[in-house]
Amino acid sequence: MGKITVEKTPIEGLLVISPQVFGDARGYFMETYNLRDFEEAGIDCTFVQDNQSSSKKGVLRGLHFQKEYSQDKLVRVIRGEVFDVAVDMRKGSATYGKWYGLVLSEENRKMFFIPKGFAHGFLVLSDLAEFTYKCSELYHPNDEGGIIYNDPDIGVEWPIPSGMDLILSDKDKCWPTLKEL
């Protein structure tokens, strides 16, 4: 394989990708996406939109999904640190309702591939985080859905430090549970 290392997770389809980093006294260089390398890793999708967000410490975004226009996503952090989570929503999947999470940071430079059929969210652990992601489908504002971040049946173990006040959007406070969907 080319310049990436791909690690499977306990949930089929979710992949942790580590790029090869070339560094010296001047800094570093890495490829964050190479079609050939991704195809060799079995990631066969076409990305059509790139997004970037900036959030301060304590912001929790998610758990979001698209209802009709489902997206494959390749996410990474270019500044700061987040705890990133994907929840399997694929009906009939052996891991339906299960979650997987990992820390993405500017230091570890890991990327997380989240295929169609998953809800996604993240919690900002650093003072500020810049988050970027590639999507295989254009954004459709009326197609957004979500699951409440603290759904007890899913049981995401968010690493919320003592004293951290969560900052959620109004819609992220009101999403239903997975069972209610």
Q: Do the domain assignments include residue 23? A: no
pLDDT at residue 153, as a whole number: 97
SS3 133: strand
Residue 149: active-site member: no
- pTM (two decimals): 0.94
The residue-averaged pLDDT of 53-76 equals 97
Q: Do the domain assignments include residue 31? A: no
The residue-averaged pLDDT of 38-44 equals 92
Q: Do the domain assignments include residue 70? A: yes
Q: Which residues form the domain of 167?
A: 47-107+116-174
pLDDT at residue 93, as a whole number: 97
What are the pLDDT digits (tens) for 7-21? 999 999 999 999 999
- Catalytic residue (choose from 133, 139, 140, 149): 133
Residue 133: active-site member: yes
Q: Do the domain assignments include residue 39? A: no
Q: Do the domain assignments include residue 12? A: no
Q: Do the domain assignments include residue 154? A: yes
- Catalytic residue (choose from 33, 64, 69, 96): 64
Q: Do the domain assignments include residue 181? A: no
* Distance, CA of 16 to CA of 29 (rounded, Å): 19
In the chain, the number of structural domains is 1
The residue-averaged pLDDT of 79-86 equals 98
What are the pLDDT digits (tens) for 101-159? 999 999 999 999 999 999 999 999 999 999 999 999 999 989 999 999 999 999 999 99
Provide the pLDDT confidence category of residue 2 given band limits of 50, 70 and 90.
Answer: low
First to last CA, the chain: 40
CATH of the domain at 66: 2.60.120.10
Write a three-state SS string for 134-181. EECCCCCHHHEEECCCCCCCCCCCCCCCCCCCCECCHHHHHCCCCCCC
The answer to whether 90 touches 117, Cβ cutoff 8 Å, is: yes
Q: Do the domain assignments include residue 98? A: yes
